[in-house]
Amino acid sequence: KVGVPTSYANTAYLSCTFQHRNFATMKSSEGLLGTIKVLASDLDGTLLNPDHVPGTGTFEAIEEFRAAGGIFVVCTGRDKGSARGVLKGLDIDKLPGVYMNGTIAQGMDGVPLKSAVIPDKVVQEVIAWGRANRGDASILFVQGDDHFVMDLNDEYALFMHKHLLDPYPAQVEGGWDVPNPKIPETVNLMRVICSPEKMAIVKPQIQELVGLQANCAQSLPTTIDIMAPNTTKATGLHTVLKSMGLSEAVTAAIGDSENDLEMLQSVKVACAMGNAVQKTKAVAHFVMNRNTDAVPGVVSLLSQITSALKASKKRPSVVGNGTPAIKVACFGGGGWGTPVARMVGQTLLHNPKFDTDLVWWLNDEIVDGMRLTDIVNAHHENPKYARGVRLPPNIRATADAADAARGRDVLIFVERQEVVKRLLVEIAGDVKKDAVAVVLSKDMVEISTGGLKFGSQVVADALGIETAVLMGGTLTGDVIAGHFAEATLGCANPDRTAMLLEIFNKPNFVVSSLPSVLAVELFAVLKSIVSLASGISDGLGFGFNTKAAIVRLGAVEINKFAMHFYPQHAVTNALHEACGWTDLIVSSFGASRNKCWAAAFAKDPSRSDEAIAVDSVPDGKVPTGLRTIKDIAVFIKKERVEVEFPFMTKIHRIISRRDPPSSLTEMAVPRVRRSDALKVCILGSGNWGTAIARIIAQNVDRLSDYQKNVNMWVHEEMVDGRKLTDIINMDHENVKYLKGFHLPTNLIAVPDAKEAVKGAHVLIFVLPHQFLDRLLDQISDVVEPGVMAVSMIKGHIVVSDGGQSLKTGSQVIAERLRISECAVLNGANVADDVASGNFAEATLGCSNESNALLLARLFNSKDFSVRAVPDVLGVELFGGLKNVVALAAGFADGLGLAENTKAAILRRGLLEMSLLIHNIFPNSKPETVEESCGIADLLTTCYSGRNWRCAKEFAKDPSRTWEDIEKEMLGGQKLQGPSCCMDVQALIEARGLQNKLPLLSAVHAAVTKQISPQDVFTTNGFLAPQS
């Protein structure tokens, strides 16, 4: 397992206590576990194994825990009678417990605390549904310990009783044969039972039918439980703890299913079984053994907590300092405000530093005939923006903003700009002078007399208090679903930073921090402009080359904007944090509001902004990015710097309908320079080689700098009975590697490499690296002295001496041809997209300025923009290392990980690539990562490249060989990622960088089948680990 990356010591990977959730971490957490007095345990799948029997040592471990002073609470979807039947070695009548998912709760010595009943209207509606859908599902009714079904012949009901070892059920008198069967007078729980294959159909129907009238949750692959309103395991456990004078702050919980999510998220220490579903693991601090292991997960957990509890009694008690608990309020109940309130509410439940209650201001709307605040307080759900998502019981909703702010120490704003400004007026007189505000709204920017004014300054000026911001790659749906996401906290006060990190940090929501508020906020706000551009690209049907180039150009211009107007804040380099690259990737490649709107706009700009929003944005509202780009454009014009910021200027002109969407790529300006006529030879005729040869041949045909004819060396092969060179020279098409694209007549295919290079002044190497040495052997004695060479070979690294010695492809070429330098061209280039004329860009690495200008002219065209930089080795190594990160991206997509998670993985990969390059070549330029060869090439490769595609397939079936996948998917092309992995890992190990580069190291381990693709992400904290 890879350790915590020491190079990230200032980020959340260390500030989040539980980020690395494995058993070894638990063993070192005695101080934390020593604070636990209560363990709440699920039953089926957790305390019981698949045979519905407690694992070896379970009862003994429970008794030892209780003897040490611990309190064990059974929390199950079963009724008490059924639980009693499978826990015969435990006197559950004397233990506190939660039954039927919170319907029944009992305290110490079995004292009854709660017995909830389902409203009769819900019972009758479910019966009517069951009558209409009898072929798909059965219905079970529970009254206390008694069970009833509508018909003893119902297949699913009888199967479930056998499966759960419940007593044999009684049949409702009359059953399905009478219009009004005699249902029990009080129903505590209804269980809808169907086959796993039918669940995807049945579950949404039941959720819609029940609505807010009751609570429902899927407890097993075959069952949906319907309970009384406001009934969950979490609320039941809260009732039990309250009866004992305890709280979630001294409680741990363990479970395995989605039904356990709220309970786990409400306690101080959340544990998941090794056999748990991924959603449950994602919210867990620790993942234990499976329930089938020799030492089951519950036994392991009880053993650790018992040992810690005994040790804590030996330590002297520490008297508190009397500091009042910190009180928190949240303002905003929309699509993003709801999951934020949910996360914060869960933190307050189990962290004793904070007051338990979270006051939540909502814009009080009428939903289903009720006020939204009343719905939240009664049913702990926001059906307007997050239907079906249960909220913690400690959230108190209010429509009175002043009431929400009064006496609170932390004010969290998650609303649109116009709403926040109204709230600030309403609460100004009720805010504590030493309070702190946190702005999560990404749309707050306006023009003031002093220039641009961002949300943090608006809030700070209005309330006169310190203000922080929290921004990152956070698609709402992914966060609600519990997928890994990351964000950046901008806060200048170190003490406040530590406190706020405690509020927001979660195992699956990792927050790092920067001391500059504005640096974090600026990138998060301006990224909406880039997501608009990304959407326009999608709407026009541009390929990944174009999209990656646009995202990179936008990111570079945001960085330039920051340096130009806010140099004192730009030095923090927020672009490389979650508020930068992660947010840019998520909003440009995920289903962000701005991107979705812009894609629809590009298809039909004649429609109004509002009409487009209705059809393309989930809530039908015009995205805030439109206002942002308009304000920024006004500011740029006012400052008279439009020429300095062509990207933002162009997006504004398109959005304001002054330019057509198709003009998106017209901001690139070709570089030109005259020289003597030079002969060009291209060495390689594969997919990418033919595509670049097509561009070069078109360019030289109109340039006096170069000779008209371009030789292209072609490895001769027969295609449909004809030589490939004959087909290219006669039909002007490479039918084997670039079928369907006409080639210029001045492109000459030559089968003999020596003949091809004779008299050439410029050699372009664009072939699989496996064939480079053989080619150099053939041509080295006929190459012109002083020839200019350009390597377009990605991923060619020659490692020797156990990783101590390294040569890149360009260094090999320069050495073998006896020239001072071989330039490098790398970038976001998918061959078919480039050949199709979709806009793309590349980076030319060349330290000789005159050669750089000359070569840039050779490659540059209207649709293929080339930018020259002097960092040859940086350009080249990014082109190789990105193949390793592309494998990680393919693994992520093959496993079905969310966009938030994938964006975080790519940002981590980008950081590790930069760190390795700097370690190998300290003189490399850190800013090279922002060129096309860096971020843009990474994005293209990780969303559409061959390494990504093959890794995606490998993740689905890791038993396959890479050779088999390459043969099946690439049609003769070569897969470079796996071999590159070997070389990169040798470099990492030779320099002892395994702990600093855990993602690259884990990818190598997966490629060589030492670990699974999923383990790549569990060992790096993106997923909770499997047992």
Active site residues: 882
Q: Which residue has the tokens 């060989």?
A: 961
What is the C-alpha separation between 667 and 669, in angstroms, rounded? 6
Q: How far apart are the C-alpha atoms of 333 and 384, rounded to whole Å?
A: 9
Using DSSP bridges, classify how beta strands 386-390 and 381-382 pair: parallel, antiparallel or unpaired: antiparallel
Question: Which DSSP helix (H) or strand (E) runs through 981?
Answer: helix 977-990
174 CB contacts (<8 Å, ≥6 apart)? 180, 181, 182
What is the residue whose two structure tokens read 């003597």?
Answer: 676
Q: Which amino acid is at 812?
A: V
How many residues are there in the chain?
Answer: 1027
Which conformational region is residue 696 in: left (phi greater than 0), alpha (psi within -120 to 50 degrees), or beta? alpha
Longest dimension (CA), the chain: 100
Identify which of 324, 254, 311 has the alpha carbon closest to the alpha carbon of residue 62.
254
- Bridge partners of 31, per DSSP, are none
Give the DSSP per-residue string, 491-549: -S-HHHHHHHHHHH-BTTEEEEEES-HHHHHHHHHHHHHHHHHHHHHHHTT--HHHHHH
DSSP assignment string, 292-306: TSSS-HHHHHHHHHH
Q: Please report the sign of the dihedral spanned by the C-alpha atoms of residue 452, residue 454, residue 460, residue 462.
A: positive
- Nearest 10 degrees: CA dihedral of 489, 493, 498, 499? -90
- Give the N- to C-terminal CA distance of the chain in Å, as an integer: 13
Q: Which of 587, 606, 608, 605 is nearest to 596 (CA)?
A: 587
| Block residue for tokens 């012949």 | 153
Q: What is the DSSP letter of 743?
A: P
Please say whether the beta carbons of 598 and 626 come within 8 A: no
Structure tokens at 966: 């390459």
Q: Which residues lie across from 868 on neighbouring strands?
A: 844
Range 81-86, long-range pairs (CB < 8 A, 24+ positions): 81/144, 81/145, 81/167, 82/145, 82/164, 82/165, 82/166, 82/167, 83/43, 85/165, 85/166, 85/167, 86/43, 86/48, 86/52, 86/53, 86/54, 86/165
> Which of 882, 980, 877, 1011 shows the shortest CA–CA distance to 940?
882
The H or E element containing residue 75 is: strand 71-75
- Bridge partners, 843 (sequence order): 826, 867
Between CA 197 and CA 208 the distance in angstroms is 19
Q: Tokens in use for 616?
A: 């393309």
Closest CA to 838 of 1022, 968, 691: 691
Map 880-941 to HEC letters: HHHHHHHHHHHHHHHCCCCHHHHHHHHHHHHHHHHHHHHHHCCCCCHHHHHCHHHHHHHHHH
Alpha helix stretches (DSSP H) within 359-493: 372-379, 401-405, 417-427, 455-463, 476-480
Instruction: Using DSSP, state whether 841 is helix, strand or coil.
Output: strand
Tokens of 996: 């600093």
In angstroms, rounded to a whole number, what is the distance separating the alpha carbons of residues 522 and 527?
Answer: 8
Query: Cβ atoms within 10 A of the Cβ of 867, count?
Result: 18
Closest residue by Cα to residue 183 from 135, 155, 152, 150: 150
